[in-house]
Amino acid sequence: NAGVTQTPKFQVLKTGQSMTLQCAQDMNHEYMSWYRQDPGMGLRLIHYSVGAGITDQGEVPNGYNVSRSTTEDFPLRLLSAAPSQTSVYFCASSRAGPRNQPQHFGDGTRLSIL
Amino acid sequence: AQKVTQAQTEISVVEKEDVTLDCVYETRDTTYYLFWYKQPPSGELVFLIRRNSFDEQNEISGRYSWNFQKSTSSFNFTITASQVVDSAVYFCALREGAQKLVFGQGTRLTINP
């Protein structure tokens, strides 16, 4: 029972490099989202998706792209990494039914941009 | 706009003490949902509880209890007889509309033996 799987767990990039953070869930959840966690700021929503082919921006979308070609996968792309994107990234998923459904989180990806 | 405030940045208590973590929220919606998550030192986020805005009944689960008061827009979390394993960062979160969550800044709780 994998739940939400994020890869990689750790990554170091140089400024200007690009990379994709992977997120996969095996619970057939319609809703998926990406958050970043910075000290003293809680978790902030980057992008989210309510189903395959549908994505939308959250609170801090600049510098990030997403796509949702399948129900299971929701990758997050950094096109040109900047030091301000150094953070811990969490992917989450939930059912799209009643709105009190809790979100299930992956274990996070710790990303450092030098 | 919706907002969640956890005014206590850090709390440190001695084991077996009771401790309350405060959460105050702002929303214009009449229907909304509140959550508490725990983030232990290992880093994962663990769901603890959810509460609907139309259900003000308090809840107790073992040593954990939650007090939801719409009149003061608060959803406080109390740990009774705290244990070292309770040491973690605790987040309060609010959801309105779609599935988007707005998190508070978190409270780092340290339980000393």
The pLDDT tens digits of the residues spanning A42-87 come to 899 999 999 999 999 999 999 999 999 999 999 999 999 999 999 9
Q: Which of A99, A104, A105, A107 to mutate to test the interface with B (most CBs of B within 10 A)?
A: A99
Q: What secondary structure, in 3-state letters, does chain A show?
A: CCCEEEECCEEEECCCCCEEEEEEECCCCCEEEEEEECCCCCEEEEEEEEECCEEEECCCCCCEEECCCCCCECCEEECCCCHHHCEEEEEEEECCCCCCCCCEECCCEEEEEC
| Pick from A78, A62, A75, A79: nearest CA to A111 | A78
Containing H/E element for B76? Answer: strand B74-79
Tokens representing A30 are: 């319609």
pLDDT band at A109 (very low <50, low <70, confident <90, very high): very high
The low-confidence residues of chain B, meaning pLDDT below 70, are 96-98
Contacting B residues, span 11-40, partner chain A, CB-CB under 8 Å: 31, 33, 35, 37
Q: How many residues does chain B have?
A: 113
